[in-house]
Amino acid sequence: MMWLTPSESEALRLSLDVATLSVAGSLPPAIALAWVLTRYRFVGRTLLDALVHLPLVLPPVVVGYVLLVLFGIRGVIGSWLEKAFGIELVFTRNGAALATAVMSFPLMVRAIRISLENVDRGLEEAARTLGARGLDRFATITLPLMLPGILAGTITAFSAALGEFGAVITFVSNIPGETRTLPLALYTVLQQPGGEHAAARLACLSLALGLGGLLLSEWLTRRLRRMLGR
């Protein structure tokens, strides 16, 4: 964008990359977890549900600290990933994607779960009596009816990932070109003398991205529901 400086454009591109990676990685487990929480009753289900939604009530800095303990160089999971696969997450954009995925994951699960709860189980039972197997029923009936929730959850999570700050800066720091996403770039210019104009530009850009994502989510969800006759 011509009205952004090179460093600001870089932060925008990095934010989009991180948000895309976080959503792509968390969507399959979000669908699976929403299915489990909706369709099964088991001991510990309430606890699992609470753990899924825990990032919504915890300070993002706490989430970032927990990730640092688990996935840091000396963390239980982080040290194993480094030794076994040479993968390092701390202070990298992949780590930023992990942090944003953890923070936005509950939003995705919640939207998909609400959509799944509204699926008519009678349609699935009718397909079962006609000989359709479980995977076929899911692919041809359940999944299409879940699409509004999947779409809403994906776009909402993407928008939330663009604005994540606390977990990212705690887990992967504020490294230009690597982990300095749009919110971190805004924080950086606020610490600099005369950075008010740059801060205003980045704040307006963040506002436009967030509002645009929510409006797009609502519009596409309504359109899909009309197409599905719901």
Instruction: State the pLDDT at residue 121.
Output: 76
State percent of the chain over pLDDT 90. 54
Mean pLDDT of the chain: 89
Q: What is the pLDDT of residues 121-149, one digit of tens each?
A: 777 778 778 777 777 788 788 888 888 88
Q: Which amino acid is at 53?
A: H
Instruction: State the pLDDT at residue 227.
Output: 73
Instruction: State the pLDDT at residue 61.
Output: 95
- Residue 54 belongs to some domain of the structure: yes
- Residue 194 belongs to some domain of the structure: yes
User: Do 176 and 33 meet the contact criterion of CB atoms below 8 Å apart?
Assistant: no
- Residue 84 belongs to some domain of the structure: yes
Helix H, strand E, coil C: the string for 93-151 is HHHHHHHHHHHHHHHHHHHHHHHHHCCCHHHHHHHHHCCCCHHHHHHHHHHHHHHHHHH
Instruction: State the pLDDT at residue 2.
Output: 56
User: Do 104 and 168 meet the contact criterion of CB atoms below 8 Å apart?
Assistant: no
- Residue 195 belongs to some domain of the structure: yes
Number of domains the chain is built from = 1
pTM for this entry: 0.89
Residue 1 predicted with pLDDT over 70 = no
- Residue 107 belongs to some domain of the structure: yes
Mean pLDDT of 202-225: 85
User: Do 53 and 106 meet the contact criterion of CB atoms below 8 Å apart?
Assistant: yes
Tokens of 4: 């952004």
Q: What is residue 198's three-state secondary structure?
A: helix
Choose among 22, 215, 37: nearest CA to 115.
37
- Residue 117 belongs to some domain of the structure: yes
Mean pLDDT of 99-126: 88
CATH code at position 155: 1.10.3720.10
- Residue 1 belongs to some domain of the structure: no
Instruction: State the pLDDT at residue 62.
Output: 96
Instruction: State the pLDDT at residue 229.
Output: 61
- Residue 31 belongs to some domain of the structure: yes
- d(CA 202, CA 204) in angstroms, rounded, equals 5
Q: Look up the domain containing 141 and give its range.
A: 6-173+181-228
**Given the structure tokens 């996935």, which residue do they identify?**
71
Q: What is the pLDDT of residues 153-163, one digit of tens each?
A: 999 999 999 99
Tokens of 197: 């104009």
Residue 227, H or E segment? helix 196-228
Residue 197 predicted with pLDDT over 90 = no
- d(CA 80, CA 1) in angstroms, rounded, equals 41
Q: What is the pLDDT of residues 14-40, one digit of tens each?
A: 999 999 999 999 999 999 999 999 988
